[in-house]
Chains A and B, each alone.
Chain A
C-alpha cells in the first residue's frame, strides 16, 4: 500500500503530519497533497490556504528531507474556459514551470488540456477523481493524453470488474480514494464541484449566492431521511484495502484537506494499520457532521465487501444495504 495524505496547506500542519508518520513508523505514507494558488486555478475543495511559490518550495524541500512526496492539486473541473485563452495558457505554463522548479513531484488535474500541458515537465501528471474516470476506455484516453496516474471516479469504488479492467487496460497507475463519503451516483456531484471550483478561484459569481450550501445541505438531508445511503457510499474500510491490492491497485488516497490536522493524522494511522474499531463515520471526509448523529460499527461490516464486489448495484431490487443499515447503524442519542 502506498498512501497519499491530505495536507491543509500551512507549514506547521505538514510538520505535524510528518512527525506523526515518523513517530508511528507509517512506512505506507508515500506523500502529501495540497491545493495550489487560487489565483491560478480553483480546486475541488474549499481553499483555506493560498501557498505562495516560495512556501511551496520550502515545504517541498522539507517533505523531501523526510522522504515524502509533494503533490499540488489544481483539480478544478471548471475554469470557465480561462485555460484556453492566451492569458490562461501563459499563466498555466508559468505556474507549472515554477512548481517544477520548486521540486514538486506531481500535479493533480482534472482538465484534459492541462494533462497535455504537463507532458512538458518531469512532474507526474495525476488525474483527479474529478475527471470522473469510470471506465477502461476513459482511462485509456487520459493515459494517451499523458497521465501517469489516474484517480478513479469514486462511484466505481465497488465495481470490481471495472476496476480490474482498468488496471489491465492501461499502463499507468490506478488509484482509489478510500474515505470519501459522497452519495453513490450523487445527482449534485458535477454541479457541486463546479460551484466549488469557482468559489475557490478568483472567478467568483458576480453577485452574492443566496444559497452557497445548497448541494451540501441537500446531501445531508437525503441521508438523514434515508440512512441506507450512508452504507451505499463508496468508502473503503481500512480492512478491505487488501481486496484492491488483490486486483493490482496499490495506490490509495485519503480525502480531507479541509479538515483539522489531528483528524487527518488519525485517518492516516488507521488506514496505514488497516484496522479500526469504532464509528466508521469518524473516518469519512464528507459530510463529517453525520458522525454526531449516526454510529456505524465498523467491526460489523467485516465481510460485506464480498457482497459488494459482486453486487449488481440494482438497489431497487436488492435491499442488501437497507438490511445492513438496520443491523449496523444506530442513531446516537
Chain B
C-alpha cells in the first residue's frame, strides 16, 4: 500500500507536469470517512481550474488508475478550488457511501461552489 500511494503521488505529478509545467503534489493520501466513503486525495499546488477543464479526461484516467491500484472504486472524481479563486488545491477520487451518493454527489449542480465535478459514476 505504501508503495502504491507513493507511486500514485509521483505519477500524478509527473503526468500533470508534462502538460502544465510546474505542478507540485506535496501530499497524497488514502482516506476513510466516518460516513463510509473511502478515497484517494492529492493536495495540489500550481494547478488552475482552467487546466482541469482542458485536461479533464487525462486527469480522470490518471486518478482512476491510481484509485484502482489502491482498491478504491473511482465513483466520484472532483477538484476542490480555493473559495472564490481558480486555484485547485485538491484532486479527490471517492468510493461513495449511500448517503453521500445521494447528498454530496446526487445533485445536478456541484454540491458546493468550490467543487468542480470531473466524473460521476454511471
Contacts and interface: CB of A to CB of B under 8 A. Distances in A.
B111 A9 contact: no
Interface centre among B34, B102, B109 (most CB of A within 10 A): B109
B109 A16 contact: yes
B106 A48 contact: no
B109 A261 contact: yes
A9 B113 CA distance: 7
Interface string A1-13: 0000000111011
Interface in A51-77: none
Contacts of B34: 289, 292-293
B83 A12 contact: no
Interface string B62-96: 00000000000000000000011000000000000
Contact of A48 (B102, B104, B108, B113): B113
Interface string B21-65: 000000000000011000000000000000000000000000000
B122 interface: no
B113 A292 contact: no
A261 B114 contact: no
Interface string A243-281: 000000000000000111111011000000000000000
Q: Which of A13, A47, A261, A289: most chain B CB closer than 10 A? A: A261
A262 B107 contact: yes
Contacts of A38: 84
Given A260-B103, A266-B103, A46 B83 contact: yes
Contacts, number: 59
A49 interface: yes
Interface residues of A, number: 24
B100 to A, nearest CB: 9
A46 B106 CA distance: 23
B112 interface: yes
Given A50-B84, A262-B103, A292-B35, A16 B113 contact: no
Contacts of A13: 107, 109-110, 113
Given A38-B84, A49-B83, A49-B84, A8 B108 contact: no
Interface string A73-96: 000000000000000000000000
A48 B107 contact: no
A50 B109 contact: no
Nearest to B82: A48
A138 interface: no
Contact of B109 (A12, A47, A259, A292): A12
Contact of A263 (B83, B103, B110): B103
B83 A260 contact: no
A15 interface: yes
Contacts of A8: 112-113
Given A8-B112, A49-B113, A49-B114, A260 B84 contact: no
A292 B33 CA distance: 10
A253 B34 CA distance: 29
A292 B112 CA distance: 20
B110 A48 contact: no
Contact of A261 (B35, B83, B84, B111): B111
Contacts of A46: 83
A38 to B, nearest CB: 6
Interface in A299-314: none
Contacts of B35: 292
B84 A47 contact: yes
B114 to A, nearest CB: 4
A147 to B, nearest CB: 29
A200 to B, nearest CB: 8
Nearest to A258: B112
Given A260-B103, A292-B35, 8 more contacts: A15-B108, A16-B107, A16-B108, A48-B84, A49-B83, A50-B84, A260-B112, A265-B107
15 contacts: A12-B108, A13-B107, A16-B108, A38-B84, A47-B83, A48-B113, A48-B114, A49-B114, A50-B84, A260-B103, A260-B111, A261-B110, A261-B112, A262-B107, A292-B35
Closest 4 CB pairs of A and B: A12-B109, A49-B113, A50-B84, A260-B111
